[in-house]
Structure 1
Amino acid sequence: MRALDGRILSPTTTAKMSGQNIEMKESLRSLGMALALAVFVVYLVLASTFESLKLPFIVILTVPLGICGAIFAMLFTGIPLGVLSMIGVILLCGIVVNNGIIYVSRIQQLQNSGLGATEATRRAGIERLRPILITSTTTILGLMPLAMGFGPGAELRKPLAITVVWGLAVATILTLAVIPSGYRALVSDSEGEAVS
């Protein structure tokens, strides 16, 4: 814009961005704030649910995994970062933590029953693999018609659905490795129920 300002226009004339470009930047900025607020609210809810300050961090580790999947989806499919894809990322924050909650709550139950953190993490992974895969798969399959772009107005809904589908798929796979590692890093064998 500055190059245009000095070369083509007369010294008394100025050029500035306006219209849809400015609105898009403002929308993305406000959605970025909404994303940060969503992650914070999810942390608060998890902290009150688990009655711990450490365990919500382990569950929140799934959010960046989902965001990585969403970014990969945008790069792979050529979808630009727009308002609907950003709304998809915000939705993803609420969806991907479910897998972490299922996993961490089972680890806590097993550890409270007397197992060490390592064994509880291993057994919870075996016991909760199927529920995690089923819940993620049903969500992904439910969004597939939107992601494939059927019907009128599909081009508007498609970025949101693709962002959520890919983000959830990547987060589900990586959650199965990251949650046990995060749990073992933050919780000792003896801590069990009293984690704060």
Structure 2
Amino acid sequence: YLKSVADVRLAEGPSEIRRVGQKRAAVISGDISGRDMGAVAADVRQAIARQVLPAGVVAGLSGQEEEMERSFRSLKLALWLAIFLVYLVMACEFESLVHPFVVMFTVPLGVIGAVLSLVLTGRSVNVVAMIGAVMLAGIVVKNAIVLIDAVNLLRQEGMEREEALVQAGLKRMRPILMTTATTILGLLPMALGLGEGAELRAPLAVTVIGGLAVATVLTLVVIPVIYTLLDRKAYAAEASAAAATRLAMGAGAAAPEGIGPALGAAPLPEIAE
């Protein structure tokens, strides 16, 4: 009866037939040594792109790489959420919406350093590097917080904006550099890839070290500039509101209590009678 529906003979064949989406599939697996998975996956994709596959044949990556792609997408959301939460905490601390905005400019500075460090070390952006970026979003703002807080304290004592920025930079430079150096030195063994499984942990350390180092240097230059620009705009807006209030109350009338510059402590200009 079997011969009526099949051609029976002895021959070699596969022990199992794998299917993906009801289509036959062949699985090729391998181990990684000395390199991170992201870099190897990028090389495999380039090798596949160079091949001319027959009609109906599709090649792609699966397994851990597929799981990493899904994790990568979820970590993007985690990164934006971390940035928002950091901003929210600083807004409560400074009791202002402008000061945290100035501090958050350190985040793109850290991203620049993180990308440069990954490029210089020949590493790709993978899930571990993204975890480092999420950590970096919370670490990199501390230097700007220290600097802006010192500027605000000096301005509350009556110091002018430019002088307060200079004095705050001089007073806080040493603590900023020391805390940054200790963090970098603590992550250095991990970045060097020492020990078993180091190729998995190294991208995290490289991301944090590069981002923190570049952001620290640029913070001392860029943050005072951003602070000055936003302070001028905020002061002009507050001065215009105060002038309109005084004119509405009559020439020479005092402005309502609480009207003043948004970022500094300097008095508002008097309105000519």
Identify whether the pair has TM-score above 0.5, normalized to the shorter chain.
yes
Q: CA deviation at 1:22?
A: 2.8
Equivalent pair of 2:91/2:100 in contact (CA under 8 Å): yes
User: What do the CA deviations read for 1:131-169 (whole angstroms, capped 9, x no partner)?
Assistant: 110110111111111111222221111110111111111
Q: Which residue of 2 aligns with 1:157?
A: 201
CA distance in 1, matches of 2:185, 2:159: 36
Q: CA deviation at 1:113?
A: 0.8
Long gaps (5+) in structure 1:
none
SS in 1 for 2:181: helix
Residues 1:36 and 2:104 aligned together: no
Q: 1:47 aligns with which of 91, 107, 114?
A: 91
Residues 1:94 and 2:153 aligned together: no
Q: CA deviation at 1:184?
A: 0.3
Q: CA deviation at 1:16?
A: 6.2
Alpha-carbon distance change, 14 to 154 in structure 1, aligned in 2, over 3 angstroms: closer
Q: 1:70 aligns with which of 114, 121, 126?
A: 114
Alpha-carbon distance change, 156 to 16 in structure 1, aligned in 2, over 3 angstroms: closer
CA distance in 1, matches of 2:60, 2:207: 32
CA distance in 1, matches of 2:201, 2:64: 19
Residues 1:146 and 2:190 aligned together: yes
Map 1:1-196 to 2 at 5 A: 8-10=54-56, 18-188=62-232, 190-191=261-262, 192=264
Which of the pair has the greater relative contact order for Cα pairs under 8 Å at 6+ separation?
1
CA distance in 2, matches of 1:187, 1:141: 36
CA distance in 1, matches of 2:198, 2:170: 39
SS in 2 for 1:151: coil
Equivalent pair of 2:158/2:265 in contact (CA under 8 Å): no
Question: Which amino acid letter does the alignment assign opposite residue 84 of structure 1?
Answer: V
Question: Which amino acid letter does the alignment assign opposite residue 177 of structure 1?
Answer: V
Equivalent pair of 2:82/2:137 in contact (CA under 8 Å): yes
User: What do the CA deviations read for 1:65-113 (whole angstroms, capped 9, x no partner)?
Assistant: 1111000011111111111111111111111100010000000101111
Alpha-carbon distance change, 174 to 22 in structure 1, aligned in 2, over 3 angstroms: same
Going by fraction, where is helix more abundant, 1 or 2?
Answer: 1
Structure 2-normalised TM-score? 0.65
CA distance in 1, matches of 2:199, 2:59: 32
Structure of greater Rg:
2
Considering only aligned residues, what root-mean-square deviation do their CA atoms show, in Å? 2.4
Long gaps (5+) in structure 2:
1-44, 236-260, 267-273
CA distance in 1, matches of 2:265, 2:131: 36
Identity fraction in percent: 51
Q: CA deviation at 1:130?
A: 0.6
Q: CA deviation at 1:19?
A: 3.1
